[in-house]
Amino acid sequence: MIKEVFPEDKNIIEQIVQLEKDAFGEGGLNQWDLVPLIRHGRVFYMEEDNNAAGCIQYMLDWKDHTKAYAIGISIARNQRGKGYGTVLFRESMNTLAAEGIQTVELTVDPENTAATEVYGRKLGFEITARRDDEYGAGIHRIVMEKKLTSCNK
């Protein structure tokens, strides 16, 4: 089961920051990033043994209010390989769909074929574009989208 994170969930926020650091190093979210996302976006986590086992963050697309952007997903090292990422994505997208979100977009490194495969095969995302130099020279991204009418695919 997943839960939404709220600003008063200080212990969970600290755990999520550590998950992000473990998963993405300096590129992970810190408290300065995470707290505004909790207040103005949507942040969900999966709990295992009273600890955050995984986290996913979304923000609303201001150009299309029926679309959300999945900023990132992180799973605790000792919880990887258990399908938690898939469950976290599916359940959070179902929550977003119930709130009127029709599409979720994400980006992924073109060399991360394992992630691209999981997003496509397990979750039903489709590649819609490629953005060269998205995060600087030579840092490219593949854009993938999912229509939320079929989250349980």
Q: Please tell me the distance from the alpha carbon of residue 64 to that of residue 145, in angstroms, as a whole number.
A: 13
Three-class SS of residue 76? coil
Q: Would you give the DSSP letter of residue 52?
A: E
Backbone angles phi, psi at 74, to 5 degrees: -140, 140
Res 26: pLDDT = 84
Percent of the chain with pLDDT over 70: 97
Question: What is residue 28's predicted lDDT score, i.e. its pLDDT?
Answer: 87
The pLDDT value given to residue 66 = 96
Name the pTM for this structure: 0.89
Residue 111 DSSP symbol: T
Residues 6+ apart with CB under 8 A from 54: 19, 45, 46, 73, 74, 75, 76, 79, 84, 85, 88
Residue 114 tokens, joined? 């394992």
Task: Give me the residue spans of the domains in the chain.
Answer: 2-150
| Strand ranges for the chain from DSSP E | 2-4, 42-48, 51-60, 67-75, 103-108, 126-131, 141-147
pLDDT tens, position by position, for the chain (153 residues)?
899 999 999 999 999 999 999 888 888 888 999 999 999 999 999 998 888 999 999 999 999 999 999 999 999 988 888 999 999 999 999 999 999 999 999 999 999 998 999 999 999 999 999 999 998 999 999 999 999 974 444
Q: Regarding beta strands 141-147 and 2-4, do their DSSP bridges make them parallel or antiparallel, or are they unpaired?
A: unpaired
- The string of pLDDT tens digits covering residues 117-129 is 999 999 999 999 9
Q: In 10 A of CB 69, how many CB atoms?
A: 15
- Eight-state DSSP code of residue 84: H
Structure tokens given for 82: 């258990």
The domain defined by 2-150 folds into Aminopeptidase (3.40.630)
Matching residue, tokens 């923000």: 59
Kindly report the backbone phi and psi dihedral angles of residue 55, in degrees, each rounded to the nearest multiple of 5, phi listed first: -150, 145
